[in-house]
Structure 1
Amino acid sequence: MNIANVLTIFRFILIPYFIFVFFSNSSNSLYLSVIIFFAAGFTDILDGYIARNFNMVTKIGTVLDPLADKLMLITVLSCFTLKNYIPMFIIIILLIKELSMILTGILLYQQNIIIPANIFGKASTFLFYISILFIVFSKVLGIILLYSATLTTLIAYVNYFFIFMKKRQM
């Protein structure tokens, strides 16, 4: 287990902390939970940097890293949906996309095929992070950005589908 993988596991640990803080009765629970979310995002950037620049990329890391990201994002958006900060259809779209990608990823992993994140997936994740930040300070702008993130995630999904079909033909 290398430091990049430890940081990824740390992101899994942050998920229940986010939920606990988000639903706490603290007057600043929204702000504190968003800080936890961004701490997870920072560790994602850090573990990716460490893994690539210090030759610590592992097969398990390439699977766990995006899984941690997906679970954190789904958790955050689910919590925001439960408190009516965002419309439910966004989490439904994201859940369908992410669950199908997780299941496909598991099947591909068993066949030693890994489809790494690409620019569309990274752009989608970035837009979700920015939209969540903006929802805290400007709900209208945050929702507009969230719609953009949702559209980008659909584009990423179609792109991943084409990559999957190409890899299956190999």
Structure 2
Amino acid sequence: MTRDERRVVSPWNIANVLTVLRLALVPFFVVCLFLPGTGWRYAALGVFGVASITDHLDGELARRYHLITDFGKIADPIADKALTGAALVSLSILNELPWWVTVVILGRELGITLLRFIVIRHGVIPASYGGKVKTVLQIAAIVLYLLPDMPDVIRWVAMGAALVVTVVTGVDYVIRAIRLRQVAKRARAE
């Protein structure tokens, strides 16, 4: 066992604090988004931007300084889904984003989360590069929807790209889960 494997990392570290901060910013983002006026819209955009930056920062800090914890592994994806989910649902409630887009994206997110829990006894399905691209595209598309007076065609192209990558990476996760389960069955049989 290496020294790093023996080292116990406290859940009270900067990476996890940033994750909790992101989760705590979600209600403030939603409130700002529903308040009338362009100023509040920019405030919502600012809160969403800060929360999105913490998504990148917490992971970077956790990896660089070996601050990865079980709490972080669970809380980080929850905070991510809470932020993007709140944005998508809010934009649909405001009739700025069709509900079917929100349903497809959130359905994929919930489905893959459940799939990961189902196959966890066989192994962990790590985040893929495509999953990271999906997150960046979703955030970029949401930012464009939050910007007042953004041309609809630009918003639709960005959200369309996010939607396609979301669905494709969802299919990829299903394939990876099936393969993981098959490998685990073969290993048990041997």
TM-score by length of 1: 0.91
Would you say the 8 A contact 1:22–1:30 is kept in 2?
yes
Q: Which amino acid aligns with 1:104?
A: L
Task: Give me the whole-angstrom Cα distance separating, in 2, the residues matched to 1:58 and 1:159.
Answer: 26
Q: Cα distance 1:71–1:164, how it changes in 2: closer, same or farther (>3 A)?
A: same
Q: Which has the higher contact order (CA 8 A, sep 6+)?
A: 2
The yes-or-no answer on 1:128 pairing with 2:141 is: no
Q: Within 2, Cα distance between the matches of 1:114 and 1:18?
A: 32
Matched residue count: 169
CA distance in 2, matches of 1:151, 1:114: 24
**Aligned partner (choices 102, 117, 123) of residue 91 of structure 1:** 102
Alignment of structure 1 residues 1-170 onto 2, 5 Å: 1=11, 2-109=13-120, 111=121, 113-135=123-145, 136=147, 137-169=150-182, 170=184
Question: How many percent identity over aligned positions?
Answer: 30
Contact 1:81 1:87 in 2 (8 A): yes
Q: Distance in 1 between matches of 2:26 and 2:82?
A: 8
Select between 98-107 and 63-72 the one with higher mean Cα deviation: 98-107
Q: Relative to 1, partners in 2 of residues 1:167 and 1:59: Cα closer, same or farther, differing over 3 Å? A: farther
Describe the SS at the equivalent of 1:57: coil
Bigger shift: residues 81-90 or 95-104: 95-104
Unaligned runs of 5+ in 2: 1-10, 185-190
The answer to whether the 8 A contact 1:22-1:33 is kept is: yes
Cα RMSD of the aligned pairs, angstroms, is 1.7
User: In 2, distance between residues paired with 1:116 and 1:11?
Assistant: 22
Alpha-carbon distance, 1:123 to partner = 0.8
- Distance of 2:115 and 2:55 partners within structure 1: 22
Q: Return 5+ residue gaps in structure 1 as ranges.
A: none
Q: Distance in 2 between matches of 1:40 and 1:89?
A: 25
